[in-house]
Amino acid sequence: MTPKKRQRPRSLKSQPDAGEKLGIFWLVGGKLVLVSTPLDQCELYGDVLNEPRAHVDYWAELQQRGAVSRQLEYEEAPRGRVVYNVKTKQYTLMADAHILADSKVVKEIIRELHLPKKTNLDRDHHYRCTVCLYGTHEDDDDE
């Protein structure tokens, strides 16, 4: 009988899992809107693999399909992205503070993208919704 090959612990793996993906996302009306791409189809930018689609471009597609309101601009809703550092072998979920504060949404993103539980979480100045930037939604004054 051939001895079983011992599987390396996930934290020591040198390559990401084949099912893991990168993506961009928003939290719209309490619902996660996410688009993802398998790692082997992502773009390398320096030491980081990144989702090839930009928030602004994909938001326009979502609006055309009626998946999100045409009245809502892409930067108004809390948003973020997940990247993979090829040198450190670490995933980082960068997002608006509203997303990072909601552990259920964070877990949903990690589950949807098949990421390791030890994915890094980080805020990024690019991902601040209008509430974070201005303290209120701009159209609240119109009511």
Can you give the pLDDT of all 143 residues of the chain as single tens digits?
A: 444 443 333 333 344 556 899 999 999 999 999 999 999 999 999 999 999 999 999 999 999 999 999 999 998 889 999 999 999 999 999 999 889 999 999 999 999 999 998 999 998 777 766 666 667 654 444 43
Say how many domains are in the chain. 1
Report yes or no on 63 lying in a domain.
yes
**Cβ(81)–Cβ(23) below 8 Å:** yes
Report yes or no on 65 lying in a domain.
yes
117 three-state secondary structure: coil
Domain that holds residue 118: 18-142
Report yes or no on 13 lying in a domain.
no
- Residue 129, pLDDT score: 65
String of b and e for 74-88 (b: at least 16 CB within 10 Å)?
bbbbbbbbbbbeeee
Report yes or no on 27 lying in a domain.
yes
Nearest CA among 68, 85, 76 for reference residue 31: 68
Report yes or no on 8 lying in a domain.
no
Token pair belonging to 140: 């609240």
